[in-house]
């Protein structure tokens, strides 16, 4: 276990060292060396095989430095400023930006990592059974990672649920938009009617877009911001069609009717796709839970009879 712990620490230190190298050298020299060799071959007029040219470089230039550069790019994207900006974007997609921000999510991740890891370390330390230190540190580190990722998993679940609800509500909302526009209302007033008719994530998105228009944003900017906050292709195509109809002077009611038909067709296709996936999803619980139970119920009487028969006495004496 001591060897495993030492190997684990060595790997962690190696990753940290490569990350530091990648951060200190964002523009490494292997690209310059490769470019110089290409220019040299081009001056001599020889045929250049890029694979051979790449393999002619040292191992550090081919493997170590690209790994360090990649780790440095990942670490630079995970700096607090970029990380908070990413979390703010994900909170917008989840519809929870009113209550949370990226800084609070980052703080929650740190606290949950400490709580989860500390509880497991405390449980292992106070256990009457003495466990190896390597096992204790491994499970502490594992549960700390789980606690760190827990807020991100909640946000991802919230994003998926919100986008699924919006996809389901879009055809009916577009039908109501079409009816309102054909009845003589403007597009903004039709969106206001949709936001008043339902209490859903889509109606809240429409209401926020209307508020932005009232505060001075153009309709085009407000609709594009709404599509970015929702983050599904259906809404993006709908917003693009509305903006294009406004620019080209096409009948908005006709565009809305076509979009409604397309959304309804996509919803039906998604339902058919989920129906085709159902047998595969049912296979795992059937194989692990239902079939073993059936085998136990059906074969237990036969096994008992066999055990009590003469054939069973030959094998179970």
Place of tokens 């609070």: 104
Q: What is the pLDDT of residue 21?
A: 47
Annotate 265-316 with three-state secondary structure: HHHHHHHHHHHHHHHHHHHHHHHHHHHHHHHHHHHHHHHHHHHHCHHHHHHC
User: What number of CA atoms fall less than 13 Å from residue 166's CA on the CB side?
Assistant: 27
Task: Say what the pLDDT of residue 289 is.
Answer: 83
CA distance 286 to 246: 54
**pLDDT at position 118:** 85
Helix (H, G, I), strand (E, B) or coil at 185: coil
Say if residue 280's pLDDT is above 60: yes
Task: Give 271's pLDDT tier (boundaries 50, 70, 90).
Answer: confident
pLDDT at site 314: 61
Once rounded to an integer, what is the mean pLDDT over residues 147-174? 89
CB atoms inside a 10 Å sphere around CB 193: 17
Cβ-based neighbours of 231, under 8 Å, separated by 6 or more: 93, 159, 163
Q: How far apart are CA 89 and CA 226, in angstroms?
A: 13
Helix (H, G, I), strand (E, B) or coil at 199: coil
Domain boundaries, the chain: 1-78, 161-268
d(CA 275, CA 261): 21
Report whether pLDDT(50) > 60: no
Question: Where residue 317 falls among pLDDT bands split at 50, 70, 90?
Answer: low
Q: 161-268: which CATH architecture?
A: Up-down Bundle (1.20)
pLDDT at 23: 45
H or E element, residue 133: helix 133-182
First to last CA, the chain: 43
Which tens digit of pLDDT belongs to each residue from 110-124? Answer: 888 888 888 888 888
Angle at 7 between CA 4 and CA 12, to 5 degrees: 125
Which residues have CB under 8 Å from 282's CB, separation 6+? none
pLDDT of 245: 86
CA distance 297 to 291: 10
pLDDT, tens digit, 9 for 90 and up, residues 89-113: 888 888 876 667 777 787 788 888 8
pLDDT at residue 37 tops 80 = no
CA distance 115 to 96: 24
Chain segment 195-213, per-residue pLDDT in tens = 888 888 888 889 889 988 8
Tell me the per-residue pLDDT of 1-30, one tens digit each, with 9 for 90 and over.
Answer: 455 555 555 555 555 555 544 444 444 444
Burial class (CB in 10 A: 0-12, 13-18, 19+), 65: buried
Residue 268 has pLDDT above 80, yes or no: yes
Contacts of 104 (CB under 8 A, 6+ apart): none
């Amino acid at each position: 276990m001591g060897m495993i712990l030492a190997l684990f620490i060595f790997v962690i230190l190696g990753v940290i060292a490569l990350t530091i190298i990648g951060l200190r050298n964002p523009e490494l020299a292997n690209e310059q060396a490769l470019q110089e060799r290409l220019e040299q071959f081009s001056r001599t007029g020889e045929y250049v095989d890029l694979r051979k040219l790449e393999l002619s470089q040292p191992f550090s230039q081919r493997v170590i430095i690209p790994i360090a550069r990649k780790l440095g790019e990942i670490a630079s994207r995970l700096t607090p400023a970029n990380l908070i900006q990413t979390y703010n974007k994900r909170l917008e997609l989840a519809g929870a930006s009113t209550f949370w921000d990226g800084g609070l999510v980052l703080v929650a991740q740190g606290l949950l990592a400490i709580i989860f890891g500390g509880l497991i370390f405390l449980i292992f330390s106070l256990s009457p059974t003495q466990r190896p230190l390597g096992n204790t540190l491994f499970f502490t580190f594992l549960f700390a990672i789980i606690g760190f990722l827990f807020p991100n998993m909640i946000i991802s679940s919230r994003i998926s649920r919100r986008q699924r609800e919006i996809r389901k509500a879009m055809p009916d909302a577009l039908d109501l938009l079409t009816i309102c526009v054909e009845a003589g209302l403007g597009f903004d007033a039709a969106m206001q009617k949709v936001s008043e008719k339902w209490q859903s994530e889509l109606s809240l998105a429409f209401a926020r877009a209307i508020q932005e228009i009232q505060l001075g944003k153009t309709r085009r900017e407000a609709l594009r911001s709404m599509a970015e906050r929702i983050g599904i292709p259906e809404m993006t195509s709908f917003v693009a069609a509305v903006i294009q109809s406004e620019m080209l002077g096409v009948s908005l009611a006709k565009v809305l009717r076509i979009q409604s038909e397309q959304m309804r067709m996509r919803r039906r296709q998604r339902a058919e796709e989920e129906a085709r996936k159902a047998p595969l999803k049912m296979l795992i619980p059937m194989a692990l839970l239902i079939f073993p139970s059936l085998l136990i119920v059906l074969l237990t009487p036969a096994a008992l009879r066999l055990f009590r028969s003469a054939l069973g006495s030959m094998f179970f004496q």
